[in-house]
Amino acid sequence: MADWSSVQPRVETQAASFADEHADGRGILVAILDTGVDPGAAGLQVTTDGQPKIVNIIDCTGSGDVDTSTVVEATTADDGTKTITGLTGRTISLNPAWVNPENKWRVGVKRGYELYPNPLVNRMKKERKKVWDAKQHEIEVALKKAEADAKDSKAAAGVTKDLKQRLDLLASSGKEYDDPGPVFDCILWNDGAKWCVCVCVNDDELVCVEGASTHTPVDLTEAPFLTEYLVDRQYASFGEDENLNYSVSVHSDGDVLSICADAGAHGTHVAGIVAAHHPDNPSHNGVAPGAQILSLKIGDSRLGSMESGVGLTRALIEAVKHGADLINMSYGEAVCIMNSGRFKELADEVVHKHGIIFVASAGNNGPALSTVGAPGGSSTALISVAAMVLPSMMTTQYSVVQNSPLSSPLQHTDGLTYTWSSVGPSTDGERGVSLMAPGGAISPVPNWTLNKGQLMNGTSMSSPNACGTIALLLSKLKAEKLAYTVPRVRRAVENACKYVDAIHPLSQGSGLIQVADAYEHFLKHTAEAFQDVRFDVEVPSAFAGPRGRGVYLRQAKETNSVTSHSVTITPGFHEDTPNKIKADFQVPLRLVSSAPEWVTCPSKLLLMHGARGFTIVIDPTNLPPSTCTCETVTAYLDAEGSDPTDNSDPLFIVPVNVVKPAAPPSPTITTAVPELRPGATHRQFITPPPGTTWVEFTIRDLRTPVPVEEKDEDGTADANALAAKVKALAAEVDRLGAAGPYADLSGGSGDVAGQLVVLHCLQLLPNTPYRDQELQQYLRVRPGSTHKLQMALEPALTLEVTMAQFWSTQGNASVEMTVDFRGVTPYPTTLSLVGNHSPVLPVTLHATLRDEEVKPSASLSRWWRQLAPNADANAIKPLGARDVLPWNEKQCYELVLEYTYECEDKGEEITVRAPLLQGILYESPYEAQLTMIYDGKKKLLGVTDSWPDAVKLPNKGAHTVRIQVRHDSLDQLTRLAKMPIWIDRAAKGGSVSVPVFTNKPDAAAAKGGGLHRFLPHGSACGMAVGEPAYDKLPKGCKQGDVLVGSVTYGKNDRPKGWRVEYVVPCAPPADPKPATPAAEAKAEGEEKTEMMKLDEAARDLRVKALATLSAGGTAKDADWAELHAMLSKDWPDHLPLAKAKLARMDREATRKDSLAEVVAAADAIIDLVDTPELAAFFGLKAVPLDDPDPAAAKLRKEKDELKEALVDALARKARAMADMEASSSQAKDGAEEAKDGAEAPPPPPADGSATFDTSLYRLQQWEDGLKTPSNAPKYGRLVVENLTRKAQIGALLDYVTKALNENPKLDAALDTELRAVKVKVLGELGWAHIAENEKTWDIINKPKAFALF
């Protein structure tokens, strides 16, 4: 029988035999903190003893939350059918079998694409687009046929034009197609015993683009419902097309429904490694098939499955509440400070107080040193797991070629770590990697991937392999009723690991996990009570601060001298340990240095309950340069009768890591890298010379290129063939990823294949994550090829330069690397210009390394604006039951800050910057923070977290930024209550040039400009940077805005240059306008008396009061009438008073009851305007508004106000006439239905103006832009009425579409009317798929409230 056991590697860790002979994980609950686990995936249904495999499924992020605070009651029809109206507007018929004693139905709405993983969204969009395109093509063919028929029959021009407009609109809808996806009504109720949920999912996912309406009634009369997964282990699918399973849970007393669907395939794959059980195919079982799974989703679907602080905190809470034995977390990030932050504090509680063993991935950021991430490599409480690939995995999972004449990874008979597996030590000196486990598996994946299993590799896979292995150990201990603690188990596991000599110590930690040996170690030390005590190591250092966890010497000065280091060992007891046990605690220890010739330490330490300290002396002066050396000071039990030579079971270790850099003899050094074999790594450590600001690497393949035979005169055939091979290889890289394996495409003989190598260089800076100062580039080197790369540097800090050949490549690589240090050092390094305050900034440039060509250039490319929080929106509130810390019953609070940003340009992209909160996650002092950006209608546009992405704002106008911060301390949140943020966007109009001058006097005189010269080695020169001209700044800049960019000094300079920022000053004063005779002299007769001015002021105040009374509704009608009558008596011809009356009569709420009065009020205004005189005025060349003559400008303003009043009156009259005529027509139609032989409609009034058409005609005489879509807020209803009467369907659809697109801030009522017209017209045209798209977007674009955090 074929052996496929290595698809889930278990043999080399002793897991396979241990599961067969001892325990298979039964009785162990493993919490999977990941993207979520699919309950329908293969192998994740039951355990080996028939228990449910998945105990509970919880979305800890909140990304699946639905607001169900809206409560409705069902109405009962005559036939007994109960219906409710969902928040989508659909009528929903309920299942009569559903029990709801109170008839209280909670309703919510959720967009499908907010729940689906990104790969599934992409797949569904492609599938739905095919259906959409087919429907478009069908309609297009019909229209083209109709167009041809119209031409053949010589139809009227209007018919042909209308068909042409329809074709154009159809094509436009195809180009602008944006798939909204499905939108689900959600129903929640309580049957008296439990919560019940129904998500209204259409059986046919694609039906919505085939013409079914979002508002089509939903028939649930035979539909099932779901209960919470924890109650009945129920789950459902969103449909056959998606194949995405989901489950539900209910929170906040029913106000929140959580729909949990996984955010990616990662979590299911991880769960399968831990505990998949395939009864019919046991070779594919996970490591602990008898274990159960607790799925805790920390990958936020809104963030593309990135972990969020909310998810992390809630996951730890749920792990404790569910009584998990183990946690696996295959997530992580680089951090600026190790072993710190709120998450670390919470993880310590989970591990040390609740006894949950926490296993995490070390990271996939190698091969350079100190690339372990958080939380695995940064927190002492966690077991950090590196990824190893074994020969059996190479054969089974990766199909590596066997018996190849080229060098092969199979030559590593004991296995090797993956090239990308992160390497220790942590920056505070701890090992960073605890142990290794197999880092690849073909494991179950969610059903929506349309795959039963999938190969994935990473420390994301090694961590669950180790976690499953430990689950076997715990299962055995529980079965044997052997009490255990986290320190005891962890010590047994780490001390029993198999050390692999061929693998670097910092890559493997204690070695490859071995479960059987760990069990034997546990039994051997069962009687030793101190095994339940952890020993915390602290080693203060200049780099790590007072809480370092080991010795890490990396810089030239500290590795060229003898240093002493204080070590403090603190025993860690469970908080419930009785004081007597603490008082009696005493352990004699023997301290052993692994390198006594240069690492010396005391020989003995008597450890008691209180912390004890000792000193380590390190003399690295004789270590070879450009090397990394890893040693330890290890503590062993030194009790009476113990073997002083037995160094097999350490109680703790103090890591001693020394990186000794070499000082380069010149700024340029060339090194022939030793021949690289698959998986081989070559490291150099160099101290950049003083004055270095950047470095250039040149990598050249030393192998001889294969000669190419010329088969034609110009060689194009062979060149094309070679290019095709290169493209084929690139395609293979895209398809297979970095892991390969790849075919030899060179076509030559011998080892001349292209080899995949990685150049990984980094410097460690204090309080800076390694990713901010690294260069990592995978290269395909071929014989004779050359690659150039650059990296910014900080001078004097050790630079690691690591070259590694990818583990899976076949053959050897031989390369030469040139490291060229360069530098033009500026002072100051950051240029901060404050407009009108420091308009000129002197800069000194130094060339310390070599001659440099200086050619400064500076520009400002980003535009930052600071926003203060809205004063009325910074409340601190307690959260719900999901956010209570179970170890101390403390309630978590939320602070929600709200900001308003006015977007000035359609399509602008902004990045929200909250410097106090961003750039940190695991090391953050807060439990969580999340940022949401909304448009003016509360539509969610984007969600960002610790590392914000740009969010596109489709329309101009006010936008809202909401930030939630969480903590259980009110004091911590109160500190942030007035926190400002920055809006970062690209500088409008392109980058702003910053002028550069030779010196300050030239800058002051704006003389010359620019600088270009050679700067000799060891010399310096001066220059000056001036402030940009105000008229060159982005339009809309305000005082206090900051423009940010970069400056470079050398003709070739460091990547990204140096930071330059400019604080925008106040705007310069405008040039005074020249006085005119009309302004200097006024006729005495034109002056008004003071009494006249007072009367007019009082009148104007009363007219304004009319608007206030009108807004008060019918309750203020009597007051309005009284005031209006009083004003009319004294000012009968006052135009603003007539306008106030018209506005009153034409109120949207009551206008239909007073249409005649609207017409009369409009006529009153029209009669007040001398239209011939006004027409004569505008018929001449109108006086510009900015005419310097105040009298002329005043006249123009008066005439504009008259015209505006006239146009408004005509528009309102036309609309009223349309409504009156429609009412008359409806009355006539009703009379015709009531009796046979209807009478002819009454003739139009004798006054020819009293019709809609004549009123509209008069309006068009005064308003040229009547049909312009941008004027829809004023005339939209009139244009729609006119085009409807003329049956110009194509023109009507064109107008409404443009009106909606060009007026994103339309009045809500008008917006609703226009959208209804558009949907109706689309339906009449038979374009139901477009109508459905419009309706769905309408639901998404107009939420009733802000989204839940």
CB 119 within 8 A of CB 86: no
One-character DSSP codes across 1194-1230:
HHHHHHHHHHHHHHHHHHHHHHHHHHHHHHHHHHHHH
Tokens of 121: 């969204």
- Helices 1272-1285 & 1190-1234 angle (0-180, nearest 10): 40
CB 332 within 8 A of CB 365: no
* Residue 798, CA distances (Å) to 369, 820, 1290 in order: 12, 15, 70
Q: Is the peptide bond preceding residue 741 cis, with omega within 30 degrees of 0? A: yes
Tokens of 828: 């100051």
Nearest residue to 14 via CA among 288, 273, 270, 282: 288
Quote the CA–CA distance of 931 and 943 in Å, as a whole number. 6
Q: Distance from first CA to last CA of the chain, Å, rounded?
A: 53
One-character DSSP codes across 637-664:
E--TT--TT--SS-SEEEEEEEEEPBPP
Nearest residue to 471 via CA among 437, 442, 506, 429: 437
CB 507 within 8 A of CB 363: no
CB 229 within 8 A of CB 57: yes
Q: Is the peptide bond preceding residue 980 cis, with omega within 30 degrees of 0? A: no
Give catalytic status of residue 859 as yes or no: no
The residues, any chain, with a CB within 8 Å of residue 1239's CB and separated by 6 or more, are 1231
Residue type, 1332: E
The residues, any chain, with a CB within 8 Å of residue 409's CB and separated by 6 or more, are 389, 394, 400, 416, 678, 679, 807, 808, 809
Quote the CA–CA distance of 1259 and 1254 in Å, as a whole number. 9
Q: Is the peptide bond preceding residue 425 cis, with omega within 30 degrees of 0? A: yes
The residues, any chain, with a CB within 8 Å of residue 1100's CB and separated by 6 or more, are 1136
Read off φ and ψ for residue 160, nearest 5 degrees: -65, -40
Tokens of 1306: 């339309």
Q: 3-state class of 231 per DSSP?
A: helix
Compute the C-alpha angle 186/883/58, nearest 5°.
50
Quote the CA–CA distance of 854 and 842 in Å, as a whole number. 16
Active-site residue, selected from the candidate residues 34, 67, 185, 262: 34
Active-site residue, selected from the candidate residues 247, 249, 434, 460: 460
Q: Is the peptide bond preceding residue 375 cis, with omega within 30 degrees of 0? A: yes
Give catalytic status of residue 34 as yes or no: yes
Burial class (CB in 10 A: 0-12, 13-18, 19+), 445: buried
Q: Is the peptide bond preceding residue 828 cis, with omega within 30 degrees of 0? A: yes
Give catalytic status of residue 521 as yes or no: no
CB 357 within 8 A of CB 478: no
- State the alpha helices, DSSP H only, in 480-514: 486-495, 505-508
Strands 440-444 and 1019-1026: unpaired
CB 614 within 8 A of CB 644: no
Longest CA span, the chain? 124
Active-site residue, selected from the candidate residues 262, 266, 370, 541: 266
One-character DSSP codes across 7-69:
GS--TTTTHHHHHHHT--STT-EEEEEES---TTSTT-SB-TTS-BSEEEEEE-SSTTEEE--
Where does 471-547 show beta strands of DSSP type E? Answer: 534-538
Residues with active-site annotation: 34, 266, 460
